[in-house]
Amino acid sequence: MIAKYIKKINILLYIVFLLFPVLLIGCSSESPRVETEFVFGTTCSITLYKGYSQVSFDMVFSRMREIEGKMSVTIPDSEVSEVNKKAGLEAVPVSEETFFLISKALGIARETGGALDISVGPLVSEWAIGSEDAHVPSERRIQELLRFVGYEGIILDSEKRTVFLEEEGMKIDLGAIAKGYAADEAVKLLKKEGFSKGIIDFGGNIVVFGSKKNKSPWRIGIQQPAGNRGTYFGIVQIETGAVVSSGTYERFFIQDGVKYHHILDPGTGYPSRNELDSVTIITDAAVDADGYSTAVFVLGLEEGYSFVESKNDIDAVFVTKDRDVYLTSGVTDRFIQSDADYPIVPIETGPRTE
Ligand code: AMP
Ligand code: MG
């Protein structure tokens, strides 16, 4: 089934730049090769610079499919599907990596007061955003399903390495964090195979490693939430690490003039409604950037901004529906505005004078 969706494309780097929501700006003079496949319900691309062969790309994509096979809710015999089937009945043993990712998601859930909550599964299925069945559920249905949402009901046993969902009807969904994990794993594998430089782009989860020829930083364009795919409003410069965006533009439908997007507020059961159009997180590991980008989006501008500032190791670029851009303090000297319609709003950081 999955195979029919798999497209192999090997095209010039600049064409890929035009297609992807987060763009890498500026080609190197080395001759990179990009391979793109459809995994995790999105286009995943890998760029390598030298020493590659088809085997190198195939190896990474096959590892990506292995991860998808364990963690996807749309694959009926995945570990996550097994956990969901046994909700309220029994604890299910899972692989080390699935256990790691669920533990990681629960850690972020605790830190963000449940803004990231992988138990949103029943709501994700009902809304079905991004599929042909997408619809606005009745208020009653949402209230019914909200009873099954609550990450406290996900019980982990680290000794037995099992996951138990306390109540029948509960369902976990790792869609907010699995692509980031997979991107990190792709980098790990490529480094192990001796690659010293590359770019991973898994549906807007970007990780770069190794330095460019002239040692200049990587320049990563950030998608304009309201613009066409491939248009960016600014560039983040990083030496290495991950840049991950969550936004209202990724998957959505419009009904009666209202936009319903795929980032759900686990408190209300509806797509998170606040002033934001996108959040981009910059940090070392894509798994963190992915989890935090979804969580911080749900927290909204004010709370999300304070949360990111309270942590030393992550930074963020916020874009509001009014196209104002807010940068956390660690990113101000690494961000280059590239579209005058997206002005940077200065944040007062020093002691107040009034
Ligand atoms: P992302 O694109 O990384 O922000 O993740 C969005 C995806 O994560 C959605 O398509 C859902 O599968 C799932 N999801 C939506 N809202 C939440 C949430 N508040 N917490 C955890 N997962 C979510
Ligand atoms: Mg995410």
Q: pLDDT tens, 146-181?
A: 999 999 999 999 999 999 999 999 999 999 999 999
If you write DSSP's letter for every residue of 88-120 in order, what string do you get?
Answer: TT--EE--HHHHHHHHHHHHHHHHTTTSS-GGG
Give residue 214's pLDDT.
80
Q: What are the residues facing 336 on neighbouring strands?
A: 235
63: CA distance to ligand 2 center in Å? 20
246: CA distance to ligand 2 center in Å? 6
Q: Percentage of residues in the chain with pLDDT exceeding 70?
A: 90
250 close to ligand 1 (CB < 6 Angstrom): yes
Among protein residues, the one with the nearest Cα to ligand 1's atom 5 is 176
Q: pLDDT tens, 75-125?
A: 999 999 999 999 999 999 999 999 999 999 999 999 999 999 999 999 999
290 close to ligand 1 (CB < 6 Angstrom): yes
Note the maximum CA span of the chain.
Answer: 64
Question: pLDDT-based confidence at 354, cuts 50/70/90?
Answer: very low
Give residue 235's pLDDT.
97
Residue 133 CA to residue 253 CA, distance in Å, equals 11
Give residue 349's pLDDT.
56
200: CA distance to ligand 1 center in Å? 20
Contacts for 61 with CB less than 8 Å, ≥ 6 apart: 35, 37, 39, 44, 46
- For a mutational test of ligand 1's pocket, the pick from 42, 116, 118, 120, i.e. the residue with the most ligand atoms closer than 8 A to its C-beta, is 120
Only one residue has tokens 């529906």, namely: 321
349: CA distance to ligand 1 center in Å? 31
Residue 100 tokens, joined: 């790691």
Mean pLDDT of the chain: 91
123 close to ligand 1 (CB < 6 Angstrom): no
Q: Among 51-65, 210-224, 238-252, name the one with the lowest average pLDDT.
A: 210-224
Among protein residues, the one with the nearest Cα to ligand 1's atom 23 is 176
What φ, ψ does residue 242 adopt, rounded to 5°? -120, 145
Q: Is 129 helix (H, G, I), strand (E, B) or coil?
A: coil
175: CA distance to ligand 1 center in Å? 5
Only one residue has tokens 């992915």, namely: 290
Q: Percentage of residues in the chain with pLDDT exceeding 90?
A: 84
DSSP 216: P
**pLDDT exceeds 50 at position 5:** no
117: CA distance to ligand 1 center in Å? 8
**pLDDT exceeds 50 at position 14:** no
Quick one: which H or E segment has residue 48?
Answer: strand 42-48
112 close to ligand 1 (CB < 6 Angstrom): no
Question: pLDDT-based confidence at 30, cuts 50/70/90?
Answer: low
176 close to ligand 1 (CB < 6 Angstrom): yes
Mean pLDDT within 20-47 = 77
177: CA distance to ligand 1 center in Å? 8
Q: pLDDT tens, 220-252?
A: 999 999 888 889 999 999 999 999 999 998 899
180 close to ligand 1 (CB < 6 Angstrom): no
263 close to ligand 1 (CB < 6 Angstrom): yes
Q: How many CB atoms lie within 10 A of CB 35?
A: 21
175 close to ligand 1 (CB < 6 Angstrom): yes
What φ, ψ does residue 283 adopt, rounded to 5°? -160, 180
Quick one: which H or E segment has residue 327?
Answer: strand 325-327
Only one residue has tokens 């280059």, namely: 336
**Among 109, 118, 110, residue whose Cα is nearest residue 84:** 118
Residue 67 CA to residue 353 CA, distance in Å, equals 53
264 close to ligand 1 (CB < 6 Angstrom): yes
